[in-house]
A and B are shown apart, each in its own frame.
Chain A
């Protein structure tokens, strides 16, 4: 009599749990399937494991709630006396072990495939900085920095008055995208310049830490053209939430055209570094560089965020000795968040930023710093 009772309740309980579980799956997001062989493997693996734990959960919760419903004092249920069963203990040790083995096998296969970074057709070095990325295309000799786009940057400031919903790809757009060809086995070499970052594009199926002093390897093979977005995944300081990653996968022809364009740009930049600039040019360009590189910490009006980020207006480094000011901007300041920009920016960017900060906010004494000065200093 009691046994039937338990069985009927168990079936009803199981039905309810299945409906709730189905509902939880229906309302929420799942992991993206992604666009690489690895991401698809991971997606399948994830679904498999999720399926197994869901079935296990339904069974465990069914037993639990059946007991809760049936074995109540208020229903006059007398407590049984059993306290042990070696047989049961062996069964519920052995069965989970078998399930775990069943999970471990496909996981191992996928992991071995992921970790084999050989056979790369091209190599891209990815370097994390506070708070932007640098991409070096080792074979194609292309190199650039990639930071969050201006529109997002403006909207994300406290009290900006801009509704993030009106900004396209809010926080997930960059100034320079990482452009790669589809159907190409690409090896990524990840490292960092200051603190630990982590490079994560969910559609590619993995993330890997970019660690100063270490080069990590990973690979990808994108099968579909498109734009794939991600973010830094390891806490890297104040603007950790604001260093997006955008990968643009294009056809081989488009990629080659893009490379040619990048090289032209590099040549133009080199030419710009060599010529003499006027004060107006330096001030204009400097204002832009300052907004993009410096304002996050030192603030748009140079007031800084004391004590971590000193003010530049009136009594900061820009009002001091030029030599010392240059030194700080080029090589950073040890033990603080101020990193060196000598590697990261072109000489004309640094010259412009120096000129700008030495003249803006009534710091001004009309001093002009030429790109050629920076280039010489950087060499020496």
Chain B
């Protein structure tokens, strides 16, 4: 057995080239790259859809698209960004970094790893193809609420199959990450010595396994309601449309944290590095992450306070939701304490991490406001909600992903990215993203509902400002693409250490990281561990 393994291992040096190399690769670094490139393409496609939305909303009246296509854009923008951009970006980062950070030679299940990536291009081909079908893309919002979603044409079947494929891909990715983290850590890399990025991904992977099947169940019921004559969600047949809300959001709320917990992990790696100080309160950070994950299962109905629930249910979901502010607050305080009396420098990854810290906090505060049921009767389904979730998803998740990309890019390519351009990218993005999303708070409070293609004239000014911000922010992201492209092609050679204050196993291997690392596992003790805590 061991001989076979060795023989097989030697074969790696003669792996296929060209397109076959990428199609058949089982290497975690190559698959990580595939995920990240895929995610970047989806980010641009989803962004283009957002620009269609913002262009139509620049002025009152319908100028560019009809309402049906507008609804297709809001629906597809969300599906592409959530399942195509944010989630694959995190899986790509996990593929690249989990083995490097825990001292493993590769992911535990390399062939499955290949498959879980290569499902995605097919899933998104199916999803995006609906745009060109006679019945058009789904137009009922990414939540696909029945009965509206059942009114659409046959393209719904394509969307549901695409969602199933994405779910399969996510579950396989999650299984792989759990198997890798639990089984393949280097000697001495105890659970409480793991970098926080590893911890947050471990917890995220469990969330994925728990809730992706729930989504699969929900959309399968939609499928049978639409095509096979069942009436799970059809009141006329004894079903209940609100049942779908409950099932969907039982998936949907943990899904929100699937998109933010790895971001917490990235930021927890970057802030200590550029503060030249170990992470403050490591153990409490781990517990806070686990608490948030637990709470995510018992707050789903706060997405649907207006469906008419019993008083007791509303009170329970309000209190449980408010409770999330506690572990989230602990995280914010710990990050600030990490910075406090550190010796900070402000390279691009740190700038994005700090941008995350400030702007995610704003999104957290508006989230707390949304938890207050009586006030939510006003905020719900208004632009206030749109502002809230874009603060946590764009300046939260996406900023953290960008921070992570800048942080680890020199390790991936072996070259330093252009620091000056990186800083321009940060400041450009931060200014315009606020011009884009902050006025939407005002619009919501003033009474503008979300998902409308046209609006009453009193909403004109803030919509114009928001659209200008949207276009500037959107086109600014081409700079990000250019910086990555430039860095992949060359530049100043990166050292193994890359960042002066960086700790952790990924910085002990050369830059660029060779295709095979940690063939012999490193030995980890407190001096190598990224984080140390008096409690652990």
A residues near B (Cβ < 8 Å) are: 24, 28-32, 38, 41-42, 45-46, 49-50, 53, 56-57, 60-61, 63-64, 67-68, 71-74, 77-86, 88-89, 92-93, 96-97, 100, 103-104, 107-108, 110-112, 114-115, 155-158, 160, 162-165, 169-172, 190, 194-196, 198, 200, 202, 205-209, 211-214, 216-217, 229-242, 305-308, 335-337
Closest to B339 in A: A67
6 nearest A-B residue pairs (beta carbon)? A213-B235, A241-B452, A28-B442, A216-B308, A206-B377, A80-B341
A208–B61 contact, CB under 8 A? no
A71–B374 contact, CB under 8 A? no
12 more contacts with CB within 8 A, not counting A67-B339, A213-B241, are A28-B441, A29-B442, A29-B443, A31-B378, A49-B369, A49-B375, A61-B361, A67-B336, A83-B279, A83-B282, A158-B66, A230-B447
A/B interface sample: 16 pairs, CB < 8 A = A67-B342, A71-B341, A77-B342, A104-B319, A111-B314, A164-B454, A165-B460, A196-B147, A200-B449, A209-B306, A214-B242, A230-B447, A234-B145, A237-B151, A241-B67, A241-B455
CB distance from B431 to the nearest CB of A (A): 14
**In the complex, B503 has a CB within 8 A of chain A:** no
Closest to A306 in B: B134
B442–A73 contact, CB under 8 A? no
In the complex, A211 Cα to B319 Cα: how many Å? 26
In the complex, A118 Cα to B450 Cα: how many Å? 32
A79–B329 contact, CB under 8 A? no
Chain A residue numbers with a CB within 8 Å of B153 are 307-308
**In the complex, B200 has a CB within 8 A of chain A:** no
Stretch at the interface among B107-115, B135-143, B160-168: B135-143
A202–B341 contact, CB under 8 A? no
Chain A residue numbers with a CB within 8 Å of B451 are 235, 240-241
B342–A202 contact, CB under 8 A? no
**In the complex, B170 has a CB within 8 A of chain A:** no
A57-B362, A170-B60, A235-B71 known; A211-B455 Cβ under 8 A: no
1/0 per residue B32-73: CB within 8 Å of A? 000000000000000000000000000011110011100100
CB distance from B243 to the nearest CB of A (A): 11
**In the complex, B280 has a CB within 8 A of chain A:** yes
A156–B340 contact, CB under 8 A? no
B447–A32 contact, CB under 8 A? yes
A165–B60 contact, CB under 8 A? yes
In the complex, A131 Cα to B311 Cα: how many Å? 30
Closest to A2 in B: B341
B147–A207 contact, CB under 8 A? no
A68-B354, A235-B140, A241-B453 known; A107-B318 Cβ under 8 A: yes
Stretch at the interface among B213-221, B270-278, B408-416: B270-278
**In the complex, B330 has a CB within 8 A of chain A:** yes
B532–A212 contact, CB under 8 A? no
1/0 per residue B434-450: CB within 8 Å of A? 00001101110111011
In the complex, A211 Cα to B236 Cα: how many Å? 12
B344–A68 contact, CB under 8 A? yes
CB distance from B76 to the nearest CB of A (A): 14
How many residues belonging to B are interface residues under a CB distance threshold of 8 Å? 105
In the complex, A111 Cα to B438 Cα: how many Å? 28
In the complex, A170 Cα to B281 Cα: how many Å? 55
In the complex, A247 Cα to B423 Cα: how many Å? 52
A107–B306 contact, CB under 8 A? no
Chain B residue numbers with a CB within 8 Å of A337 are 151
B311–A213 contact, CB under 8 A? no
Of the residues B226, B315, B342, B369, contact of A50 by C-beta under 8 Å: B369
A198–B306 contact, CB under 8 A? yes
In the complex, A241 Cα to B451 Cα: how many Å? 8
A207-B306, A235-B141 known; A169-B377 Cβ under 8 A: no
In the complex, A85 Cα to B280 Cα: how many Å? 8
Chain B residue numbers with a CB within 8 Å of A78 are 343
Chain B residue numbers with a CB within 8 Å of A41 are 374
In the complex, A230 Cα to B452 Cα: how many Å? 13
Kindly identify, within residues 265 to 317 of chain B, every residue whose CB is under 8 Å from any CB belonging to chain A. Answer: 275-284, 306-308, 311, 314-315
Chain A residue numbers with a CB within 8 Å of B235 are 211-214
Chain A residue numbers with a CB within 8 Å of B492 are none
Chain A residue numbers with a CB within 8 Å of B523 are none
B336–A231 contact, CB under 8 A? no
**In the complex, B345 has a CB within 8 A of chain A:** yes
Closest to B465 in A: A27
B68–A308 contact, CB under 8 A? yes
Chain A residue numbers with a CB within 8 Å of B193 are none
CB distance from A94 to the nearest CB of B (A): 9
A165–B457 contact, CB under 8 A? yes
Chain B residue numbers with a CB within 8 Å of A156 are 61-62, 454
B377–A205 contact, CB under 8 A? yes
Chain B residue numbers with a CB within 8 Å of A74 are 345
Chain A residue numbers with a CB within 8 Å of B524 are none
Of the residues B284, B339, B369, B452, contact of A64 by C-beta under 8 Å: B339
In the complex, A186 Cα to B319 Cα: how many Å? 29
Closest to A244 in B: B456
Stretch at the interface among B20-28, B92-100, B320-328: B320-328
A49-B369, A67-B339 known; A170-B381 Cβ under 8 A: no
Closest to A191 in B: B235
Of the residues A112, A207, A212, contact of B241 by C-beta under 8 Å: A212
**In the complex, B368 has a CB within 8 A of chain A:** yes
CB distance from A296 to the nearest CB of B (A): 9
In the complex, A341 Cα to B98 Cα: how many Å? 60
Chain A residue numbers with a CB within 8 Å of B452 are 231, 240-241
Of the residues A103, A196, A233, contact of B148 by C-beta under 8 Å: A196
Give the one of B141, B306, B322, B453 with max A CB within 10 A: B306
CB distance from B510 to the nearest CB of A (A): 26
Chain A residue numbers with a CB within 8 Å of B531 are 83
In the complex, A165 Cα to B454 Cα: how many Å? 13
A92–B333 contact, CB under 8 A? yes
In the complex, A190 Cα to B377 Cα: how many Å? 15
**In the complex, B223 has a CB within 8 A of chain A:** no
A232–B449 contact, CB under 8 A? yes
In the complex, A238 Cα to B450 Cα: how many Å? 14
In the complex, A268 Cα to B449 Cα: how many Å? 38
B372–A107 contact, CB under 8 A? yes
Closest to B447 in A: A202
A111–B445 contact, CB under 8 A? no
Chain A residue numbers with a CB within 8 Å of B277 are 79-81, 83
Chain A residue numbers with a CB within 8 Å of B319 are 104
CB distance from B122 to the nearest CB of A (A): 26
CB distance from A132 to the nearest CB of B (A): 15
CB distance from B70 to the nearest CB of A (A): 8
**In the complex, B130 has a CB within 8 A of chain A:** no
A89–B339 contact, CB under 8 A? no
B533–A42 contact, CB under 8 A? no
A53-B369, A93-B326 known; A42-B280 Cβ under 8 A: no
Give the one of A81, A96, A110 with max B CB within 10 A: A96
Chain A residue numbers with a CB within 8 Å of B279 are 83
1/0 per residue B188-231: CB within 8 Å of A? 00000000000000000000000000000000000000100000
**In the complex, B373 has a CB within 8 A of chain A:** yes
B315–A108 contact, CB under 8 A? yes
A237-B151, A308-B135 known; A64-B533 Cβ under 8 A: no
B358–A61 contact, CB under 8 A? yes
**In the complex, B535 has a CB within 8 A of chain A:** yes
Closest to B333 in A: A92
CB distance from A305 to the nearest CB of B (A): 7
**In the complex, B380 has a CB within 8 A of chain A:** yes
In the complex, A79 Cα to B535 Cα: how many Å? 21
